[in-house]
Amino acid sequence: MSQPTARGLTIRSAVAMLAFTLVFTALMAGTYLLTHEKIAKSAEAEKLLLIDQILPRSLYDNDLLHDTLTVPASAGLGVTPASTVWRARRGGQNEALVLEAAAPDGYGGTIALIVAIGADGRIRGVRATEHHETPGLGDYIDPKKDKSVGRPWIRQFETRSVDAPESSWQVRKDGGDIDYHTGATISARAVTRAVGRVARYVATHREELFAPAR
């Protein structure tokens, strides 16, 4: 029996590698098809649970996660390169906007936020979705870590109008009326200023943010 040539061995190796690649690709594709819908639904459920904290589902009847607007990077929102705005409607009428925002000047770095603002121009709620503030000090911006369970610090923004004076978006130390924890002014100041920027952004762009998708 003749021994396989070097060329034959090369061809066999190439065929084996091709077969392996095809099988592996098919397995990966199959796994993706079986799981991607479940993963997508899980991600959507997590987003809704987060939004639920600042905007109850009873306030809208549209498909919130699919009635969205992508806005380009803006100094007003502090998010780059772009961010999502969710539009809540009830009976076809505008109810609220939920916006992604960020405070780049937190003590531990950028503080990611979501802000709900009603069609009447009043803030419905604010939440920090990601931050690296000092545990026990600046992390009170997160209501889950705020020791004031009955009235978390972050709730001071609720019902404030986007047309409110500048003092509404400053902590007391800077001449405003937002309380803060002694020794952790930077965290409170960063969030307060960021919410103020979002308020001004919505005041300026309200109509286009609520406009139905074309």
Q: What confidence tens digit (pLDDT) does each residue in 34-84 have?
A: 554 554 456 566 778 889 999 999 999 999 999 999 999 988 899 988 999
Amino acid at 65: L
Q: What is the pLDDT of residue 4?
A: 60
Cβ count near 205 (within 10 Å): 17
* Termini Cα distance of the chain: 73
Q: What is the pLDDT of residue 36?
A: 45
Residues of the chain with pLDDT under 70: 1-4, 6-9, 26-27, 29-45, 213-214
Do 128 and 112 form a contact (C-beta atoms < 8 A)? yes
Q: What is the pLDDT of residue 39?
A: 47
> Which residues does 26 contact at the CB level (< 8 Å), separation at least 6?
none
Q: What is the pLDDT of residue 43?
A: 53
Do 192 and 172 form a contact (C-beta atoms < 8 A)? no
> Which residues does 169 contact at the CB level (< 8 Å), separation at least 6?
176, 178, 192, 193, 195, 196, 197, 199
Predicted TM-score of the model (pTM): 0.78
Q: Nearest Cα to 44, choosing from 84, 77, 72, 82?
A: 84
